Structure 1
């Protein structure tokens, strides 16, 4: 078991002392060992301090994945600061909202996104030469590499990630060293599930965007264990295939849609994936046909991860042994809590519900966020005095302690006084061979209050009949849950973690 006082920066210091030449990160041909990484992070810390940053200040990053993001982040940790990676896919007004909310003293920005930071009162650094802005590398290297050791405490904030904003404005979830490291640090390694264990011999692919917990969090898992991380700007299936083979990557995290792209790539069938131990995925359940395809093409273990920004990522996992290519009830679930994570299913009054009954999933663990930045009321609504965090997800637990996700509480449809969870309807329609993707929403209805509508992405070459899909659903779920109408689209709007943005669909359909 690791010391509970061993925060992010101290992990890097430890690896730099014991394995300075071991490779920490590789990015587009550039290799950085743990010793050099640690020294560069110290230079960043000194540069931020010289720029006038004080403990607790925010510094932002607006760009795609790069190795220097992690140096910037750990440098900020060494200076006692909080890093805010911002979603570069957002529209300029959305970026402006986040920057105005977190009030960063320094922003590290890729040149293509400079138009998003105009009017912000901060020192603007650029990753590559652009105008008269200071360039990150010479700005960093102008400082000494003496470590300032100004780290925040184990419970101090080190990362601030903004929620996806599926309803209302995004909120900045503050994550501490404990949030990011505590679940692993509190449990002996041998008590962790095998798929969740890491070692210094692992090689990981850091392909998910760093503005999301699946990107920054996956990077943390890599660095805290002294493993090697291969950083890619964006997910590109052809590039990913090349990197998997070239570096013998052992661990990778993807959303199911990215996994399908990877498996469908013509070169995948000819690739030897024997070095790959585990593919972790999240954002949504893996369709059975995709699991079968992935097992046939790749052949490694698969683990579903459930978590959220407010829980610093994964708190529940469906292990490889529960991934049955023939299908099983557990394949429809999200798995079992990790060691040290407590989960309850509660009703609207916070009372525990028995196995099999749907309620809200609430969790307590060291991974829970500190709270929302400058949002004490929103924090109090989400985390109670005993540390139980309301996920906003509806779900249920079976007698064996496996969790099943029903839906987001706010996405529940009330039709004729009956509660309908979209995920249940979607699961019924997913099983139809002509359905590649589906989302279910409630739309205004003069008779029922809300009516169930399905938006379907047809399978390649298929032209499904709406009436046939409705009949298919009625055979598998209660008639009142079946869609009243079916529309077709080429794709569904999703956030970076792969979750369907039902809010946008509801707006489209009034």
Structure 2
């Protein structure tokens, strides 16, 4: 039975829907929802704006140890951390602080403290090698690094390679040994003597950059994505639209439980699971290290009712023995993103769960904070689709000449909305490539939109390889391979994989006098990249097919060797 309040909200939200067609005469697709009002505030202010409603509620808790913080504790500790960033580390407005952490309950404290201190967060994958870390530290111009004791050696090696000397703050989660030359996070959050008056000096506005994740964009090596306070707040408000909202109101008798298994260094988890859900007073249940058994145990043990996943987790939940009616019984809303998911995979999961679950599929990018489209509540007719554009968002589907095309025609997806990034940091050439002259962002993805405005992702123009939802840029792996003394040229493509979605496959052209050496190359790459980027499959060829302009013809490689 639907409550009167629910029916009232539904009727009110239904009145927000535009009556006219979402398609304009010139084939621009508008959101079917009313535009949102974006608060003129910083992300820090936005996240804490309703703190007085749920101070005693759990903000974040470790799924394994139960260690965690209430919202009131999180606010106070991050506030003290912010003051010490200003006092002891001379962080000033616009300074970048690197965060290289797994999913732990301290992650929100770190990010909120950085924001309150006037800083910018740049998040680093905690399994990165020193080669990868040093590149991001240099490009982001980071002033400090926050990490765990076990990754201090990697940070120090990265700093040595980059010829920089950065302060390192470490978070001890389970009695680890304090690393020499580092500062303890707890000492900075529990410092009762710090003078917090310095925080009154902070001057940050909605238009300032606050988050700097790194993405490969449509092609090439990772670039710093400049997301402003307004970008992230806008996206939070956009997904609050009643017909697409994936959360419930926090009250005296209810608090959503969200399993944070997706990595918080990634925009999907940082924005949708952390910033947005904290602003709604939800409980974040953080998973530091993933195992299938612990994953299902946490879903059941913490009575997870909101679950946000990428396709590999959907595959797991549809096939793993631990996925049962009992372990999945508390899930009410399930959202899949990061990569397309087929309807058949969704149905296999439903057979396992054997219950009604509000399933959604969303689409977005790091450059769009991230959400662009999301299926509305109760949408069961097309599980392949990602829904219409969210409020205040417009789409264009274009041909190769960037001319708009009409309903049900496949082309590149262009987006315009308040969630679109300011640009790539210090990279005008990349900005010229992704922004049209009139300000539309080119996603590099292929899709089509039906007459009702529902978007379906068809393929990717971009050449990124998606391994378990993670972006693997071929250019990065090719650069590593070409640095080996035996390699004359290299090309990397993504090939289907039963559990990873895709995996890299390398094509190698050797220099004269060298023999096939796949094991040596495999080890060489393994030492220089994160585990999910490693290459297991090598093919040695006489030459790499290229266009007259020198662009690798990956399509030719796929046709010749992968069909």
* TM norm. shorter chain > 0.5: yes
Q: Which residue of structure 2 lines up, in the alignment, with residue 378 of structure 1?
A: 430
Summarize the Cα distance change of 1:144–1:246 in structure 2 as closer, same or farther, 3 Å threshold.
farther
Task: State how far apart, in whole Å, the 2-side matches of 1:112 and 1:359 are.
Answer: 46
Aligned to 1:126: 170
Q: Deviations over 1:374-412 (max 9, x none)?
A: 113322332346432111112222222122223222449
Aligned Cα root-mean-square deviation (Å): 3.4
CA contact (8 A) 2:336 2:360 kept: yes
Question: C-alpha distance in 1, partners of 2:275/2:283?
Answer: 11
Give 2:391's aligned residue: 339
Trace 1:134-153 onto structure 2 (pairs within 5 A): 134-142=183-191, 144=194, 146=196, 148-149=199-200, 150=202, 152-153=204-205
The CA deviation at 1:233 is 1.0
Would the aligned equivalents of 1:42 and 1:145 in 2 still touch at CA under 8 Å?
no
Encode CA deviations 1:293-348: one digit per residue, 9 max, x unaligned: 21122231211111000001121123464445xxxxx3333321112211111234
Distance 1:89 1:140, change over 3 A: same
1:243 maps onto 2:243 in alignment: no
Once the two structures are overlaid, the 10-residue window that deviates more, 162-171 or 245-254, is: 162-171
Match of 2:277 among 203, 222, 227: 222
Change in Cα spacing, 1:388 to 1:92, as seen in structure 2 (3 Å) is: same
CA contact (8 A) 1:251 1:277 kept: yes
Counterparts of 1:458 and 1:25 in 2: how far apart (Å)?
Answer: 33
Q: Does 1:316 align with 2:373?
A: yes
**Residue 149 of structure 2 is aligned to residue 106 of structure 1:** no
Match of 1:362 in 2: 414
TM-score normalized by structure 2?
0.69
Alignment match, 2:335: 280
The count of residues paired between Structure 1 and Structure 2 equals 431
Q: Label 1:311 to 1:356 Cα distance change in 2 as closer, same or farther (>3 A).
A: same
Which residue of 37, 40, 43 maps to 2:80?
Answer: 43
- Contact 1:4 1:186 survives alignment (8 Å): no
Contact 2:238–2:390 under 8 Å retained in 1: no
1:63-462 equivalence runs, <5 A: 63-118=101-156, 119=160, 120-128=164-172, 129-142=178-191, 144=194, 146=196, 148-149=199-200, 150=202, 152-164=204-216, 167-185=219-237, 189=240, 191-200=241-250, 201-217=255-271, 218-271=273-326, 273-298=328-353, 299=355, 300-319=357-376, 321-324=378-381, 330-384=382-436, 386-411=438-463, 455-457=495-497
- Counterpart CA distance in 2 for 1:332 and 1:411 is 22
Which segments of 5 or more consecutive residues in structure 2 lack a partner in the other structure? Answer: 1-35, 173-177, 467-473, 475-492, 500-525, 540-553
- Separation (CA, whole Å) in 1 of partners of 2:331 and 2:495: 35
In structure 1, distance between residues paired with 2:396 and 2:367: 16
Larger RCO, structure (CA 8 Å, separation 6 or more): 2
Question: For 2:121, what is the secondary structure of its paired residue?
Answer: strand
The answer to whether the 8 A contact 1:40-1:145 is kept is: no
Q: Identify if the C-alpha distance between structure 1 residues 101 and 196 changes in structure 2 by more than 3 Å, giving closer, same or farther.
A: same
User: For residue 480 of structure 1, what is the aligned residue in structure 2?
Assistant: none
Aligned partners of 1:302 and 1:319 also within 8 Å = no
Alignment pair present for 1:22 and 2:77:
no
TM-score when scaled to structure 1? 0.76
